[in-house]
Amino acid sequence: MASDARLALITRPGCHLCDDAKAALDRVVAVTGDKWVEWDVTGDEGLEREYGDRLPVVMLDGKEHGYWRVEEDRLLRDLTTPQL
The ranges assigned to domains in the chain are: 17-78
pTM of the entire structure?
0.91
9's CB contacts (< 8 A; 6+ apart) are 18, 21, 22, 25, 36, 37, 38, 39, 56, 57, 58, 59
Q: Residue 84 — pLDDT band, cuts 50, 70, 90?
A: low
Q: How far apart are CA 68 and CA 72, in angstroms?
A: 12
- In tens, the pLDDT along 10-64 reads 999 999 999 999 999 999 999 999 999 999 999 999 999 999 999 999 999 999 9
Q: What is the pLDDT of residue 2?
A: 54
Q: What is the pLDDT of residue 76?
A: 97
CA 79 to chain centre: 12
In contact, 41 and 69? CB cutoff 8 Å: no
| Structural class in CATH, domain 17-78 | alpha beta
- On the question of pLDDT at 1 being above 60, the answer is no
